[in-house]
């Protein structure tokens, strides 16, 4: 009898140990390797200082942008990161070799800023480079990875954009891996935004390191730059997945160099691409047009769709292109793009999508918010020069 009890006890102990191992392992993996999956199940949304303000940033401005993110309804539309780009740091590290913020422009330091944005339910991002200096020539993090990541964590930073200037010709993968490991060891979950400009095919190695990686050089606020970046995204969609996003660079919507139609195109394309939606305009002074583009919830929902699939170019015919994106509920986003200087009429066949066969499809225009039932299996629309029409197509019974 005693023997039976002992054996039973032994079996229970072994079982409990196994259970513990089974539960402990995923937790550990979560902590070490899955930060981006947890932080970015969908592409990040926020604001960054570079495209509009370049070097001219200070604490007051950043706090004002955070205020405006809330007051303008951007926060309600899903935007949450308030990101400092280059030039927030002092020109010298402190006496212990630590990065410090510029004493005049950021007199209260970065922790003060992160406390401020956190109180608003937002998150704070900073910028550095995997080089000896940032692109604008300020101190950067190469060979200071551990100390800098610890400092970012101590300051309550939530997001690091990590650039590629002044890298001394050292291999990119090892430079970015060092910072990834330093962030993992920092004690804080920090989004790692790899900004290596697509120079070393980052889509092949960056998904194991970061939450997003730039695929191209810098965007400029004009049609040609935006459309050239679009062309460079072809073929990259299969590298994106939940927690790991191709980054075709930040938005220029509202900065003044494109027409309103072109900005609608820019924003729609970035959403079809499941791109990070990091706005780069002055949120404190937005026109109604800019506001309406950036807060169009139906278009944002395409970007943020939980299926976490990047869209792709389905067909192209001269200036006319059809871009599509599969969605979690079985429907598809369809975007008709007219790159030409003349308006045109475009048609696409719904049967060309991998969508449920149906006699009728609901075709909802995501900009006019009107929908129609189509029994002819077609999506068709007039498309303005440099314009798009964007739809959600859903099979009916």
Catalytic residue list: 163, 218
Q: Which residues 177-206 are close enough to bind ligand GLA by CB under 6 A?
A: 195
Q: How far is the CB of 230 from ligand GLA (least distance, A)?
A: 17
Our CB check for ligand GLA shows the closer of 85 and 262 to be: 85
Residues 46-65, one symbol each (x = binds ligand GLA by CB under 6 A, - = not), give: ----x---------------
Question: Where do we find the tokens 């070799």?
Answer: 97
**Part in contact with ligand GLA (CB under 6 A); list of ranges 128-136, 337-345, 367-375, 389-397:** 128-136
Closer Cβ to ligand GLA, 276 or 387, answer by number? 276
* Nearest-approach distance from CB 50 to ligand GLA, in angstroms: 5
The only residue of 61, 77, 90, 136 in contact with ligand GLA, by rule CB under 6 A: 136
* Residue with Cβ nearer ligand GLA (50 or 323): 50
Residue 74: CB minimum distance to ligand GLA, A: 20
| DSSP-derived 3-state class of residue 351 | helix
Tokens of 377: 């299996």
Binding segment toward ligand GLA, per CB under 6 A, in 8-16, 115-123, 130-138, 172-180? 130-138
The span from the CA of 113 to the CA of 59, in Å, is: 7
CA distance 85 to 196: 15
Instruction: Return the number of the residue (218 or 232) whose C-beta is nearest ligand GLA.
Output: 218
Largest Cα–Cα distance of the chain, in whole Å? 92
- Sequence-distant (≥ 6) Cβ neighbours of residue 194 within 8 angstroms: 162, 176, 202, 206, 209, 210, 212, 213, 214
Q: How far apart are CA 111 and CA 116, in angstroms?
A: 8
Report how far Cα 53 is from the mean position of its chain's Cα atoms.
20
For residue 181, give Cα distances in angstroms to 143, 151, 299, 361: 13, 14, 35, 48
The span of 134-142, 300-308, 310-318, 329-337 binding ligand GLA (CB under 6 A) equals 134-142
Give how many residues touch ligand GLA by CB under 6 A. 9
User: E-assigned strands of 119-206?
Assistant: 123-129, 159-163, 191-194
- How far is it, in rounded angstroms, from Cα 217 to Cα 208? 21
Q: Where are the beta strands (DSSP E) in 157-292?
A: 159-163, 191-194, 212-214, 245-247, 277-279
Question: In the range 68-127, which residues lie near ligand GLA by CB under 6 A?
Answer: 85-86
By C-beta, is 134 or 279 nearer to ligand GLA? 134
Instruction: Tell which one of 218, 232, 319, 352 touches ligand GLA (CB under 6 A).
Output: 218
3-class DSSP state of 313: strand
Instruction: Please name which of 219, 231, 229, 230 lies closest in space to residue 255, comparing C-alpha atoms.
Output: 219
Among 135, 151, 283, 335, indicate the residue that binds ligand GLA (CB under 6 A). Answer: 135
* Touching ligand GLA, residues 351-370 (CB under 6 A): none
51 vs 296, beta carbon nearer ligand GLA: 51
Distance of alpha carbon 380 from alpha carbon 30, whole angstroms:
46
Instruction: Give the shortest CB-153-to-ligand GLA separation in angstroms.
Output: 21
Query: Which CB sits closer to ligand GLA, 206 or 393?
Result: 206
Q: Quick one: which segment of 36-44, 129-137, 287-295, 353-361 binds ligand GLA (CB under 6 A)?
A: 129-137
**Closest approach of ligand GLA to the CB of residue 85, in Å:** 5
User: String of b and e for 318-352 (b: at least 16 CB within 10 Å)?
Assistant: eebbbbbbbbeeebbbbbbbbbeeeebebebebee
Give the interface segment with ligand GLA, choosing from 64-72, 106-114, 131-139, 289-297 (CB under 6 A).
131-139
- Least separation in angstroms between CB 35 and ligand GLA: 22
* 212 is a site residue for ligand GLA (CB under 6 A): no
What does the DSSP assignment read for 243-258? TBEEE-----TTSSSS
Paired tokens of 178? 């060092």
163 or 305: CB nearest ligand GLA: 163
- Contacts to ligand GLA by CB under 6 A: 50, 85-86, 134-136, 163, 195, 218
């Amino acid at each position: 009898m005693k023997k039976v009890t002992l054996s039973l006890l032994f079996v229970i102990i072994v079982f409990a140990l196994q259970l513990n191992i089974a539960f402990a392992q995923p937790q550990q993996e979560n902590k070490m390797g899955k930060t981006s999956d947890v932080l970015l199940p969908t592409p990040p949304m926020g604001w960054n200082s570079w495209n509009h303000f370049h070097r001219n940033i200070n604490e007051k401005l950043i706090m004002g942008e955070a205020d405006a993110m809330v007051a303008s309804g951007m926060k309600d539309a899903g935007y949450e990161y308030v990101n400092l780009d280059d030039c927030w740091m002092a020109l010298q590290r402190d006496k212990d070799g630590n990065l410090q913020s510029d004493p005049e422009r950021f007199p209260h330091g970065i922790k003060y800023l992160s406390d401020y944005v956190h109180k608003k339910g937002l998150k704070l991002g900073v910028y550095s480079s995997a080089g000896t200096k940032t692109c604008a020539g300020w101190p950067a993090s190469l060979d200071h990875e551990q100390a800098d990541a610890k400092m970012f964590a101590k300051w309550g930073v939530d997001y690091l954009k990590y650039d590629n200037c002044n890298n001394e010709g050292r291999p990119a993968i090892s430079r970015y891996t060092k910072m990834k490991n330093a962030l993992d060891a920092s004690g804080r979950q920090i989004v790692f935004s790899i900004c290596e400009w697509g120079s070393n095919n980052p889509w092949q190695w960056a998904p194991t390191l970061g939450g997003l990686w730039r695929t191209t050089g810098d965007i400029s606020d004009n049609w040609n730059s935006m459309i050239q970046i679009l062309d460079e995204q072809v073929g990259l969609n299969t590298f994106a997945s939940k927690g790991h996003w191709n980054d075709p660079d930040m938005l220029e919507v509202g900065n003044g160099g494109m027409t309103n139609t072109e900005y609608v195109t820019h924003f729609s394309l970035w959403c079809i691409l499941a791109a990070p939606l990091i706005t780069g305009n002055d949120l404190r002074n937005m026109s109604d047009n800019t506001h309406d583009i950036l807060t169009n919830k139906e278009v944002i929902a395409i970007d943020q769709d939980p299926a976490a699939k990047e869209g792709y170019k389905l067909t192209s015919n001269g200036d006319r292109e059809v871009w599509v994106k599969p969605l979690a509920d079985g429907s598809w986003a369809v975007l008709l793009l007219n790159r030409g200087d003349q308006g045109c009429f475009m048609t696409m066949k719904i049967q060309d999508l991998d969508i449920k066969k149906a006699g009728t499809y609901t075709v909802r225009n995501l900009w006019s918010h009107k929908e129609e039932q189509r029994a002819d299996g077609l999506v068709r629309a007039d498309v303005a020069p440099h314009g798009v029409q964007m739809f959600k197509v859903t099979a009916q019974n």
